Amino acid sequence: MGRFLERFNTEFQIGIRTDEFGRPVDDHAGPSIRQNVDEQVENQFTENVDVEGENVDEQVEKQAREEVAVKEAAAKELAEKEDAEKALKEASAKEAAAKELAKKEDAEEAVKEAVAKEAAAKEHAKKEDAQKGAEEEKEKVAKEEAKKKQEAEKYQEALKLKAEQERAQKEAEKELNEKRKAAAKELNEKRSKEKALTEDERLLAYSLFSMEGDILDNVFDDGKGTTVPRITMQLLSPGVLIDSLHPEIQNGKKNLNKQIETLMGILNKDETSFKLRDVKLVFFPIIAHKHYYVIVFDLDKGHAVILDNTLQKMMKDAPAKISKMKWRTKENKIDCGLYMMMHMEMFEGEIGLKWKTNILDERNRQYAEQIKRMRMRYTSKILLHDANKNTKMMSDFAIKFDEEHNDKEEQKKMVEEAMIRKASEEKH
């Protein structure tokens, strides 16, 4: 038996284990099919050894074929079993894949439904927003139209009010102009009837033009820094060139900054200087090359005019108008300062032939007497003005002069001689 198994293992290499006596050993670690084979072989072998008279080789060969058949059947069964298991696994995998696919499709369908719902919700919200926006736009347009209507009404009311104000202003200006014209007419009529010098005016002028007294005495002082010494006031004497004795002007120096500083100092001391709301005409007396004239700014009409008594052509390219007055002079070269003062007093805004004064033409026979009288009048007006803090001093001086020269004829003769001497001295 042992030799048979050993030979059987050698020829067929089926791995049947035997003990030292050649008997098969039960292998618990091998597969179940091998155990069955071993049992079948064992049983078959037992049966075959009992057959009497068979050839051992034939028995072995037969036994081998049978074992092969058994193994093939076992392998086939195993293959069928493995195929069945594989088919089962494939079916399970397909079923799982089908379920996964169905689950995925369900999820995708759910997503699509959610997206569709969200899109529908957005579209609905969009429509609602559009409807709300349309309503708001409609409301906004209505408000804007109402606002425009209100603004238009306010604008019309403002235009109406402005028109009424302009009409009232024009009427007020017309009334004011009429009053000014009437006042100017009245003033011109008064001036056309020039009055003679009063006794006070004559006496004060005579006392000054007698050339008596200290020439450095300040005969005028406004208390704000403007002073005029006697020698300067005496230049108003008839026949004398009216001139300023200011050192800068005498030396021909033109310090514009200092002039502006002086002017601003005067203005700052006088609080009324800047109140031009009710002022129509602003006068600027000018001295250039020992010649006096005045520039007047008409704030109502918005232009400037130059008032100059001479016929010489000055400031050809000046933007201001040069008034053409019928009393302008050609021969008189010394009274421009007097004319400047007369123009400042008499000018009311009318120029040319519309401006009427009592100033005579220089060819008139009464011209010299008028100029003499006007010099004496302006002298007394300056010295007796309320702004002069030395008015009493000059009045006392005039009274004393009259007491010392109580003969009127002798007084007049003495003063006229003094004025002639002064004129002669100034010419030389």
* pLDDT for residue 44: 54
Query: What pLDDT, in 10s, does the model give residues 299-336?
Result: 888 888 888 888 765 555 556 677 788 888 988 989 99
- Measured between alpha carbons, how far is residue 400 from residues 208, 216, 394, 404 in Å? 12, 19, 10, 6
For the chain, the distance separating the N- and C-terminal CA atoms, rounded to the nearest angstrom, is 187
* pLDDT for residue 396: 92
Tell me the mean pLDDT in the region 39-60.
61
* pLDDT for residue 290: 82
Tell me the mean pLDDT in the region 87-113.
90
pLDDT value at 29 more than 50: no
pLDDT value at 362 more than 50: yes
Which range, 7-21, 141-155, 175-189, is most confident? Answer: 141-155
Tell me the mean pLDDT in the region 107-128.
90
pLDDT value at 221 more than 90: yes
Comparing 100 with 186, which gets the higher pLDDT? Answer: 100
pLDDT value at 390 more than 70: yes
- What are the backbone angles phi and psi of residue 290, rounded to the nearest 5°? 65, 25
pLDDT value at 48 more than 60: no
Least confident of 105-109, 164-168, 289-293: 289-293
Tell me the mean pLDDT in the region 127-141.
89
Comparing 113 with 261, which gets the higher pLDDT? Answer: 113
Comparing 263 with 217, which gets the higher pLDDT? Answer: 217
* pLDDT for residue 397: 92
Please indicate, yes or no, whether the overall pTM of this predicted structure exceeds 0.85. Answer: no
Query: Under DSSP, is residue 217 helix (H, G, I), strand (E, B) or coil?
Result: coil
Q: In CATH, what is the architecture of 199-427?
A: 3-Layer(aba) Sandwich (3.40)
Query: What pLDDT, in 10s, does the model give residues 54-75?
Result: 577 788 888 888 889 988 998 9
Question: What residues does 307 pair with on adjacent strands?
Answer: 294
Any residues with CB less than 8 A from the CB of 303 and at least 6 apart, and which? Answer: 297, 320, 321
Query: What pLDDT, in 10s, does the model give residues 259-282?
Result: 677 767 766 666 665 566 677 888
- Domain spans in the chain, listed from the N-terminal domain onward: 2-102, 199-427
For all residues of the chain together, what is the average pLDDT? 80
CB atoms within 10 A of CB 129: 12
pLDDT value at 30 more than 50: no
The letter for the amino acid at 196 is A
pLDDT value at 137 more than 80: yes
Any residues with CB less than 8 A from the CB of 9 and at least 6 apart, and which? Answer: 15, 16, 18
Contacts 24+ apart (CB under 8 A), 353-361: 353/326, 355/323, 355/325, 356/188, 356/192, 357/188, 357/191, 357/192, 357/327, 358/191, 358/192, 358/193, 358/194, 359/327, 360/327, 361/326, 361/327
CA–CA distance, 119 with 77 (Å, rounded to integer): 61
* pLDDT for residue 47: 54
